[in-house]
Structures are given as C-alpha cells and as structure tokens.
Amino acid sequence: MADIKPDDYEWIRQFLYTQCANDLGQGKEYLISSRLGAVAREAGLADISALVTSLKARPLGGPLHQKVMEAMTTNETSFFRDGHPFAALEKQIIPRFLSSNSGRPLRIWCAASSTGQEPYTIAMVLRTNFPDVANRARILCTDVNATVLKRTTEGVYSQLEVNRGLPAQMLVRYFERAGANWRAKAELRSMMDPRVMNLAVPWIGIQPQDIVFLRNVLIYFDAKTKREIVTRIRNTLAPGGVLFIGGSESILGMDEGLSREQFGMSTVYRRAA
Ligand SMILES: C[S@@+](CC[C@H](N)C(=O)[O-])C[C@H]1O[C@@H](n2cnc3c(N)ncnc32)[C@H](O)[C@@H]1O
C-alpha cells in the first residue's frame, strides 16, 4: 500500500469536512488507501497523490469530487439493525401516535438512510402491524451520498444483503425475485421519498416529522456539528415527536428541548408535546 503524503492527507481531511462535515481526524491513512485507491485507478491516475493533484486542478463539485466524497462515507447498514428500535416502534411509538392522532398521515424521516435497509425495515413493520397507518405513511429517506440513496429508490438487494437481518417470512412476503437479487414490492417502494441531503447544512422544505431515525451517523461529526444537527432535528420534530439515535451514540445534555425515554432496550428522545 502506497504511503499517503501528509499534505494529501490534510487536503482530503479538509475536503471531506467541507463537503459533508465528516471528521476524519488523524491516523486514517488506511481508510484513504482502501477507499480511494480504486477511485484513482478508475480515473486513470497512478496513485492517491495524483488523485489529489487532479482534484485540486478541477472546480469543486464535479463528478470526481463527488466520487471521492461518496467513497469516503461509511455506508454500513442492514435490515432490522440492532432489533430493539423496531420493537419500540411497533410496541410503543406507533400505538402512542395512534392514540393521539386519528387519521392523520404519519411522517417518518430516516436522516442517513444509506442503501435503504433501515427505511424498508420501518415500512415492513408498518405494513405488517399497522396496515392503515402504512397506507398513509411517507418515509423521507435522505443521505449525502447520491449513489447509495439511488438504491432506496430501486429497492433491489443482493442475497448477501437480505441474509443480513431480514427474516425469511418478511423476505417472502415483501420481496420478489429480480434475477439473482430481490426487489422490494411496490407496496414498500411506494412509501419511500428519497432525497439527497447534507445534514450539516441547514435544511428547508422538510415538514414536521413524527419520528426521526438518525442512527449511526452522528459518530462521523465533531461536537459542534453534532449539536447543530440535533438542534435542527429537534426543531423539525412535531410536538411529541421522537428521535432514535444509534446504540453507540449519545446526545445527552446536548439539547434541553429533548427528553430521554427508555423503551425496553431502546432509548428515544422526545420533543415536548
Ligand atoms: C453508517 S451509515 C448508517 C445507515 C443507517 N442509518 C443505519 O444505522 O444502518 C451512515 C450514513 O450517513 C451518511 N452521511 C454521512 N455524512 C452525512 C451528512 N453530512 N449528511 C447526510 N448523510 C450523511 C453516509 O453517507 C452513510 O450512508
């Protein structure tokens, strides 16, 4: 593996921070090598140093810049990831929503939805347990990485991907064969509203949300960015709306407008009603 020059490392670190606020920190040369080596080769460039030189010579925002930013995001996800948030959704959160909101549409936002397994999991929970709610629910799926987001629109997953967390009865009920892959049925796909969006930039045009999933993305931001995003999310939550974050993440003491509630193994943050 070729060494990354300190100046190139710093340029990539800064670039990533300005594009999507991901804080690479120090000592992640292996990550740059493993993720950008292929981008350099595909662009016909000898190595990462040549890639940085080429990026510097082009205007920001072009396709090569986009590829580099996307390659540096971590898109790890799976169906029913961590399990308990979806149990809380089914057993507590949706029943509580139904008890105070008869007939109005449910709005859910997956704020870093990657390749879509998380919003499709939510859609399956709704279709299976609350079919009437599912008929009037929209799941806003956003990610800064347009390439992974496209997969949510397509709803096509490999055998390997469905093997990761999707129960067999859900696979049979909600997916159909697409060659060697599986495609989510229209009843799930029609619930998705995918949009490219950078959480680090103030957003407009997002309606008040009843439930926000912001899981396994806060870890990539520094404390200041994290706090700003959490405050903006709180302001986007409808009164009484709830926020899920990842199991290894904490926003404790970050926003006084959110109160912590425990549902079994799952912690959620609620905006005062
Ligand atoms: C590890 S995945 C989490 C996927 C899913 N929420 C889960 O928990 O399984 C993190 C996602 O956050 C996205 N991301 C990183 N920075 C972002 C930003 N500034 N705005 C929006 N999405 C971002 C990445 O592209 C990636 O798809």
200 CA: nearest ligand 1 atom: 19
Q: What is the pLDDT of residue 29?
A: 94
For residue 220, report the distance from its CA to the centre of ligand 1, in Å. 9
pLDDT at position 2 is 59
Atom 2 of ligand 1 has which residue's CA nearest to it? 75
pLDDT over 90 (residue 264): no
Sheet holding 175-178, edge to edge: 156-157, 181-184, 175-178
How many alpha carbons lie under 13 Å from residue 29 in its C-beta half-sphere?
Answer: 10
80 lines ligand 1 (CB under 6 A): no
Residues 190-249: pLDDT tens digits? 999 999 999 999 999 999 999 999 999 999 999 999 999 999 999 999 999 999 999 999
Give the start-to-end residue ranges of the domains of the chain.
6-72, 84-271
- CB distance 230 to 255 below 8 Å: yes
pLDDT over 60 at 158, yes or no:
yes
Report whether residue 143 contacts ligand 1, using a CB cutoff of 6 Å.
yes
Instruction: Enter the CATH code of domain 6-72.
Output: 1.10.155.10
- The residue behind tokens 């696979």 is 171
Half-sphere exposure of 195 (CA within 13 A, CB side): 14
pLDDT of 3: 85
Strand partners, 182: 157, 177
Percent pLDDT > 90 in the chain is 92
Q: Average pLDDT of the chain?
A: 96
Atom of ligand 1 nearest to the CA of 20: 19
| pLDDT higher than threshold 90 for residue 252 | no
Residue-wise pLDDT for 92-107, tens only, equals 999 999 998 878 999 9
144, 148, 149, best to mutate for ligand 1 pocket (most atoms within 8 Å of CB): 144
CA-based end-to-end distance of the chain? 54
84-271: CATH topology is Rossmann fold (3.40.50)
Instruction: Work out the number of other CB atoms within 10 angstroms of the CB of residue 88.
Output: 21
Ligand 1 site, residue 70, Cβ cutoff 6 A: no
Distance 22 CA to ligand 1 centre (A): 10
